[in-house]
Structure 1
Amino acid sequence: MPENFNFSSPPFDLLRPTERAQLSEALSVGYYAAGETLLEAGAAVPCLFIMLKGVVEERGEDGKLFAQYAGEDLFDIRGLFSGSSKHAYRAVEESITYELPASVFHQLCGANSAFARFFQADLAAKRQLARREGQNLAEFILTRIAREHLLPAIEVSADLPLGDAARLQLSRGADALLVRQESGLGIVTRTDLMRAHFRDGLAEEHAIGPLAHGPLACVALGDFLFDAMILMTRQRIERVAVQEDGEIIGLLHLTQVLSLFSTHSHVLALRIARAETEEELRAAAETLHTLIATLSGNGIRLRFIMQLVSTLNEQLLERLFELQVPLALRSHCCLIVMGSEGRAEQLLKTDQDNALILAEGFPLEQGLALMERFSEALLSFGYPPCPGGVMASRPEWCKSLAAWQRELTQTQLEGNPEQLLRLSILADAWPVAGNRQLFDALRQGLNRFVEDGERWLDDVAAAALQFDTPLTFLGQLKTQEERLDVKRGGIFPIVHGCRVLALREGLEARGTLARLEALKARGVLDENLADNLAESFELFLQLRLVQQLAGNRDGREQGLDVTRLSRHERDMLRFGLHAVKKFKQSLARQFHLETR
C-alpha cells in the first residue's frame, strides 16, 4: 500500500483518521503504457482513478476530447455514480495511477457527507456543461437554412408592367420578384414598386426592368443562417436568394433571420452605415461590447462571434474613413488593418494596427495629416494607440505603393530583424476602405517575396519559439502568481506559426483557423495536430474573453487567472498547451530551428 498518498489534497483532506486508514488499506497502484486503455466507453467503472504521473485523455465515441487528466486529477466520477463509463479513457504517455475500489469509494461517500458533496458538486458541474453543449446545438448559430424559412421566388421578365408586378406580388404573398435581364437575375422588392409608383410617379404600364437591383446575392440551402446574416450585413441588404443544385428555390428575408437571432447585429450594422457624424459612429461602436457579451453569454461558438464582430469592425472603420477622407481622395489610397483585425480575430477593442497605401502623386504630408485625425477618432472610440507605433499616422506605415514594394525588395536582399518583423505584420494585412487595387498589388509583392526571399523565412519562423510553453516538467500548468500568459504561451505560437507557414505556401487564407484548414488540406500539418490546434486556439481566446468580460473589458489583457477556471477548463487549457508544444516542435523541424 502506498505510504506517500497526499491527504492534504481536496477532497481527501475531509476524511477522518479512520476513513483515511480505510482508504490507505484499499488503495492500489496502476501502471499504463502510452496508448493503453484504462476504461472503455460503456464498461463498468471498477475504481476511482487518481493520477500520480503521466497524462490520460477522456474521449467520446466520435473521438471528441472531453478532458485531459494529469497530476492528482480524479476520474471517472460520473461513471462511479451511474455504474458505467460514458467515455473512453486512454493514456497519452506512460501513466501511473492510484486506484480506489468502487465499493470503498461508495462506503466513504456514505459515511462522510462532506466528502460525498465534493463529488456530487463536480458531477453537477459536468451535467450543467453537458446541458449547455446541448443547448448550443439549438442556437441560431448552428441552425441551417431550410425550406420553411423561405419566401417564394417568382421570376418575371423585365418588360412586365409595374401594375401587374404589384398584383402578382399580392396574389402570391411574395415580398420581392426576380427579374430576368441580359446581365442575369436582379431583384425588385415591394418597397421598390411603392416608391416607383407613389414617389416617382411611374405609371402602371411602366416596365419593371429598370427598377431591378443586381447582382443577386445568393446562399445555398443547408448553409448556416449565420452565413446568410453575414452576407446581408456585409452588403447591407435585407434579402438573399437561396439555391439548391444551382437553381433558386426561394428568398430568405432579414426578418426571418432576426426572428431566430435577437442580438440586433444587423441593426448595429445599419446604425454604422447611416452614421452621419463621428458622434453617431462612436455611439454605435460603444454597443459592440454589449453584442459580444450577449453572444458569448448565450454560448455562441467563438469563431462565429469573431466573423460577425470582424464584419462590424470593418464597416465601422470604413464609415469613419468615409466621414474623414474627401471623396476625391478615397480612390487614391487604401486603408489596411493588421494584427487581430487583419486576421478577423479581434473581439474586444485592442491596439490600433493599421497602415495606408498611397497612389503615386498623393502627397505624403496630406496622407499623414488625414491619418493623424483618423487615429485620434479611433482613440475616442476606445481603440488605444499601438505601443509599437504600427499606425497609419506614422511615416513608416503611411507611404506610396512604390515605397512599400521597395521595402519588400530590400527585405529580400537584407533580411535584418526589424525588416522581417514588419514583413510578418504585413502578412496579416487586410483592406477595409479606399482603393483595394492598391492592396492587391502589395499582396502580390508579398507573394513574390516568398519566391525570392525564402531564405529568410527560417528567421521569421524562429519568433514562434521565443516564448516558453507554460507547462511544468510534469506537464502541469505553469503559472506566475496564479496567472498564466495565454497570449505568449498559447495564442502567439499558433498565430505566428500558421502565418509563416501560410506565407511559405503562398496561401491567401485570412485568419488562423482558415490557415490551419488550408495547411491541413495541403498536408503541411498532420490532420490531428491541425484540428487540435484549431480547438486550442478557440479555447484560449474563449477563456481570455470570459475573464475580460467579467473584468474591465480590456482587449489587451492577456493573463488568465487560473484559480477562476473550472477543473474542466484547466484540463482543456493543459491539453491545448500540449498541442502548442507539439506544434512548436513541428515548426522547429520544418524550418531547421532545432539548433538555435
Structure 2
Amino acid sequence: MSEHFNFDATPFNELTNHERELFKEGLSIGYYVPGETLIEPGRSSEALFIVLKGVIEERGKDDHLFAHYGPDDFFDVRGLLSGQSRHAYRAVEESIVYELMAATFHQLCERNPAFAYHFQADLAAKRQLARRDGQNLAEFILTRIAREHLLPAIEVAADLSLGDAARMQLDVGADALLVRQGEGFEGLGIVTRTDLMRAHFQQRLGDDSPIGPLAYRPVAWVELGDFLFDAMILMTRQRIERVAVRQGQQVIGLLHLTQVLSLFSTHSHVLALRIARAETLDELRHAAETLDTLIATLEGNGIRLRFIMQLVSALNEQLLAQVFEQCVPPAGRGRCCLLVMGSEGRGEQLLKTDQDNALIHADDVSPGQARSWMARFTQALEAFGYPVCRGGVMASRPEWCRSLSDWQRELRATAQEGRPEQLLRLSILMDAYPVAGNDNLYIPLRHTLSNWREQGERWLSYLAAATVQFDTPLTLFGGLKTAGERLDIKRGGIFPIVHGARVLALREGLTERGTLARLNALGSRGVLDPVLAENLSEAFELFMQIRLAQQLSAHRDGLQQGINVATLNRTERDLLRFSLHVVKKFKQTLTRQFHLDTR
C-alpha cells in the first residue's frame, strides 16, 4: 500500500525521487480499532503518523481534548522534534495509518531543509511556503530600493537663478533639483523641470529670478532598502512623480515614477491619474468600476494581501476625496472634514462593502447644510456600487454628521456614562481616518480619542467583551466548524482580531490606523506576546485572502462573508484550522487582561 502514497501533497512534494524511495523504505501501515492508543504521553515518539482512513484524537492532561486528525493529517511532529510526546493519541474509529519511522523522518529532514522547514516553521513561514504562484509580479512587490534604481540628487542653493538651474538640469540630465533652504533634511525643497518651465512661460519670471520660492516642501521620501511598492504607494497617495531616497539623514538619490512603472506591470497609477483628472461624477464612477479588476489582477498574481490593501486604500482615499469635492461647494470644503471608518478607515477594505463614514463640520456651519452635502455624497457612492450602511453609519445621518464641539461632547459623555450605543459609536470612531476637507478639524478629535481611557477605562471591559461574543468555528475535536459547507470567517476569525486589537489600542493610547499596525505595536510594547502578535497578523491576512479569493470567484462584492471550506485544499484547511486556534488563544488572552470571566 505504501506504493500508493500521495507525494503530491505538501510537504511530501518537496522530496526528491531518491528521498521518496527512502521514505517508502521507512514506511509501514498500522491498523487500529476504536479506543486503541497509538502514542502514550511521556513516551519517545517512534514515527510520524499520517492518517489514511479513520479518525485519531489527541488528548492532554486531565483528558483535555486538543484535536482530531482525519485523512491526510499527520502527527506527532512536536514529539518527534523534542524526542518525547506530551499528549496521548487514540483511535476514535477503525483507522488505517501510515507510520514513517522516526529515524527515516530525521534523515529526510537532515537531507532536505525545505521538507524539514514545513515541520519547524511558524504560521508566518507556513503561509509563505504556501504562496508559490505569481512570482513574477510578487518579485517586484518584494524588490527593495537599490542605488541602481535612483536618479542623481543634486543639491543647490536657494538663491540659484532660474536660468542657471535650467542649464544645470540640461547639463547633468536631471529632471529635478533639491533646493537647500534650511538645516537638515527638513531644510530641503524640490524644484522640477516642469516647475521651471511654468515659472518662465506662465509666470513670466526672468532668468535671474531665484528658484527658492519655487521649491516645494516638504520633500516626500523613502529609505534606501524600502520596498519599491512602498514608494509607489506614497506617490499614489500624494499624487507626485518622484520621491527622495535617504540613507540616514543623507539624500542619496531620487526615485522617479517612470522607473517604478517600468518594473511594475499593473495599471494602478494609471487608475490614480484617472481618478485625479475626473471632472464629473460619471467619470469617477467609470474609474471606480475598474478597481475590482485591479484587485483581481493583483490577487490572481499572488500578491500578498497587505500590499493589495495598502494600494487599494490609497486609491479609495483619492476616489472619496474626489466625490467629496464634487458634492461639497468650494466654500464648504474648508469648513468640514470627511472621515472614513470601518475597514476603509483601517485601510483594509478591498471589494466594495457598505458605506462607513462621518463628517466633522465647524461649529458655525449649519447642521442642515452639512447633511444636505452629505446626502449627495451618500447617493453618489451608492451609484458607484457602495451599498448604504444598514446600521446607518453614514455622514448623511444626524448622529454621524456633527460639529467638532458635538463630537467632543459625545466622547466625554461616553467616558462618563458608558451606555451601549455610546460605546458602539466609540468603537466605530476608533477606526476613523480623514480623507477629504480640512483635516485640522480631525486633530483635536483624534487627541480626545487617544486620551479617552483616562476617564473611560472602566468601560474597556464592556468593549472587550464583544470579542468573545461569537464562538470560534472549531469543533469540540479541533476541526473546522461549518454551517453546511460554509464557515463565517468574519464573525469567527476576522472580527475578534480586529476588535481585540482595536480595544487594546484604545487602552494603550495608540494612534496606529490598521489592524496589522496595531498588532505590531502591541507586540513591540509587550502588551501581547510577540509570537502571538505575529501569528495573529498572519491569521488575519489568511482569513482576508481566502475570503477575497472566494468573493472574486463569485459576485465580486464584499458582502459575502462566509467561505466554502469544501473548495479549500488540504494546506489551506490546515492553515485555516491553525489560524483559528491562534484566534482562540487571543480571546483567552483578552479574557485574562480584561477579566471577562468575572463579568
What is the TM-score when the length of structure 1 is the normalising length?
0.82
Correspondence for 1:594: 597
Correspondence for 1:539: 542
CA distance in 2, matches of 1:204, 1:416: 67
Shift of the 350–416 alpha-carbon distance from structure 1 to 2, 3 Å rule, reads same
170-179 or 382-391: which moved more?
170-179
Deviation at 1:404, TM superposition (A): 1.5
Q: 1:200-349 maps to which residues of 2 (within 5 A)?
A: 200-349=203-352
Correspondence for 1:71: 69
Correspondence for 1:64: none
Shift of the 461–71 alpha-carbon distance from structure 1 to 2, 3 Å rule, reads same
Correspondence for 2:525: 522
Q: Is the 8 A contact 1:144 1:223 kept in 2?
A: yes
Shift of the 89–272 alpha-carbon distance from structure 1 to 2, 3 Å rule, reads farther
460-469 or 586-595: which moved more?
586-595
Correspondence for 2:459: 456
Q: Is the 8 A contact 2:487 2:564 kept in 1?
A: yes
Structure 1, residues 541-595: CA drift from partner, whole Å, max 9, x if none?
Answer: 0000000011101102100011111111010110111011111111111111114
Q: Is the 8 A contact 1:285 1:316 kept in 2?
A: yes
Shift of the 188–92 alpha-carbon distance from structure 1 to 2, 3 Å rule, reads farther
- Residue-pair matches, total: 531
Deviation at 1:95, TM superposition (A): 5.0
CA distance in 2, matches of 1:427, 1:442: 10
CA distance in 1, matches of 2:85, 2:593: 24
Correspondence for 1:52: 56
Correspondence for 1:8: none
Q: 1:166-177 maps to which residues of 2 (within 5 A)?
A: 166-177=166-177
Shift of the 198–143 alpha-carbon distance from structure 1 to 2, 3 Å rule, reads same
Shift of the 332–305 alpha-carbon distance from structure 1 to 2, 3 Å rule, reads same
CA distance in 1, matches of 2:32, 2:425: 62
The counterpart of 1:371, out of the listed 355, 370, 374, is: 374
Correspondence for 1:189: 192
Structure 1, residues 472-506: CA drift from partner, whole Å, max 9, x if none?
Answer: 00000000110000000000011111111111111
* Structure 1: 5+ residue stretches without partners: 1-10, 12-21, 40-44, 57-67, 80-84, 104-125
Q: 1:406-445 maps to which residues of 2 (within 5 A)?
A: 406-445=409-448
Shift of the 437–197 alpha-carbon distance from structure 1 to 2, 3 Å rule, reads closer
Shift of the 194–132 alpha-carbon distance from structure 1 to 2, 3 Å rule, reads same
CA distance in 1, matches of 2:418, 2:57: 45
CA distance in 1, matches of 2:543, 2:130: 20
| Paired letter, 1:145 | I
1:142 lines up with 2:138 in the alignment? no
CA distance in 1, matches of 2:575, 2:32: 31
CA distance in 2, matches of 1:511, 1:214: 28
What is the TM-score when the length of structure 2 is the normalising length?
0.82
Shift of the 137–236 alpha-carbon distance from structure 1 to 2, 3 Å rule, reads closer
Q: Is the 8 A contact 1:55 1:92 kept in 2?
A: no
Correspondence for 2:98: 100
CA distance in 1, matches of 2:320, 2:228: 25
| Paired letter, 1:184 | G
Deviation at 1:261, TM superposition (A): 1.0
Q: Is the 8 A contact 2:337 2:434 kept in 1?
A: yes
The residue matched to 2:332 in structure 1 has which SS?
helix
Shift of the 590–273 alpha-carbon distance from structure 1 to 2, 3 Å rule, reads same
CA distance in 2, matches of 1:552, 1:225: 32
Shift of the 456–348 alpha-carbon distance from structure 1 to 2, 3 Å rule, reads same
579-588 or 203-212: which moved more?
203-212
Shift of the 423–200 alpha-carbon distance from structure 1 to 2, 3 Å rule, reads closer
Q: Is the 8 A contact 1:334 1:433 kept in 2?
A: yes
Structure 1, residues 385-434: CA drift from partner, whole Å, max 9, x if none?
Answer: 00000011111111112212222222222212111111111111111111
Shift of the 179–92 alpha-carbon distance from structure 1 to 2, 3 Å rule, reads farther
Shift of the 303–476 alpha-carbon distance from structure 1 to 2, 3 Å rule, reads same
Deviation at 1:333, TM superposition (A): 1.2
Shift of the 37–495 alpha-carbon distance from structure 1 to 2, 3 Å rule, reads farther
CA distance in 1, matches of 2:84, 2:293: 43
Deviation at 1:133, TM superposition (A): 6.2
The counterpart of 2:356, out of the listed 332, 345, 353, is: 353
CA distance in 1, matches of 2:264, 2:151: 18
Structure 1, residues 1-34: CA drift from partner, whole Å, max 9, x if none?
Answer: xxxxxxxxxx9xxxxxxxxxx9566999631649
The residue matched to 2:487 in structure 1 has which SS?
strand
Structure 1, residues 219-267: CA drift from partner, whole Å, max 9, x if none?
Answer: 1111111111111112111011111121111110001111111212112
CA distance in 2, matches of 1:131, 1:366: 51
Shift of the 419–90 alpha-carbon distance from structure 1 to 2, 3 Å rule, reads farther
Shift of the 562–329 alpha-carbon distance from structure 1 to 2, 3 Å rule, reads same
Percent sequence identity over matched residues? 65
Shift of the 448–557 alpha-carbon distance from structure 1 to 2, 3 Å rule, reads same
Correspondence for 1:506: 509
Q: Is the 8 A contact 2:48 2:74 kept in 1?
A: no
The residue matched to 2:368 in structure 1 has which SS?
helix
CA distance in 2, matches of 1:569, 1:89: 26
Q: Is the 8 A contact 2:342 2:432 kept in 1?
A: yes
CA distance in 1, matches of 2:251, 2:332: 40
CA distance in 2, matches of 1:240, 1:580: 39
CA distance in 2, matches of 1:32, 1:527: 32
CA distance in 1, matches of 2:134, 2:342: 34
Q: Is the 8 A contact 1:55 1:70 kept in 2?
A: no
Deviation at 1:529, TM superposition (A): 1.2
Deviation at 1:37, TM superposition (A): 8.6
Q: Is the 8 A contact 2:30 2:97 kept in 1?
A: no
Q: Is the 8 A contact 1:54 1:92 kept in 2?
A: no
CA distance in 2, matches of 1:413, 1:549: 45
Deviation at 1:205, TM superposition (A): 4.1
